[in-house]
Amino acid sequence: MPTATAPVADCAVGLTPDLPPVVAVRVLQHGVLEVRFADGCAGCVEILPSHMTGVFAPLRDPAVFAQAGVVGGAVSWPEGVDLAPDAMYQAIVRNGRWVLE
């Protein structure tokens, strides 16, 4: 029987006790990322200026934001800022994107 590849929108939630880690991140523009998880699930993360306060304040600088990378299965920046991969995954599965307001 041929194996079908599930579309990105069909990310498997709840099939395993652990959510898949982030394996790739790409900055699309300041405040917007494209992320991909180990299971192939992918989507956008938008960090609005109103969210770039407190620990996220360094991300207001486009040069800092552009340094997004993957460390330990999460999106992070050299300034010690990172994003919760579990919340990100669940939002992308539901909506195709995660907006931090």
Alpha-carbon span 36 to 45, nearest angstrom:
11
Q: Are 28 and 36 in contact (CB under 8 A)?
A: no
Alpha-carbon span 49 to 60, nearest angstrom:
7
Q: Judge whether 52 lies within some domain.
A: yes
**pTM value?**
0.82
Which residue range is the domain that position 56 belongs to? 19-100
Tally of structural domains, the chain: 1
Q: Judge whether 31 lies within some domain.
A: yes
Q: Judge whether 90 lies within some domain.
A: yes
Q: Judge whether 9 lies within some domain.
A: no
CATH number, domain containing residue 91: 3.30.2020.10
Check residue 5 and give its pLDDT. Answer: 33
Residue 52 has pLDDT above 90, yes or no: yes
Phi, psi for 8 (deg, rounded to 5): -55, -40
What's the rounded mean pLDDT across residues 26-31? 98
Q: Judge whether 62 lies within some domain.
A: yes
Q: Judge whether 7 lies within some domain.
A: no
**DSSP assignment of 70-100:** EETTEEE-TTS-B--HHHHHHHHHHHSEEEE
Q: What H or E segment, with its residue span, contains residue 62? A: helix 62-65
pLDDT in tens, 64-101: 999 999 999 999 999 889 999 999 999 999 999 999 99
Q: Judge whether 83 lies within some domain.
A: yes
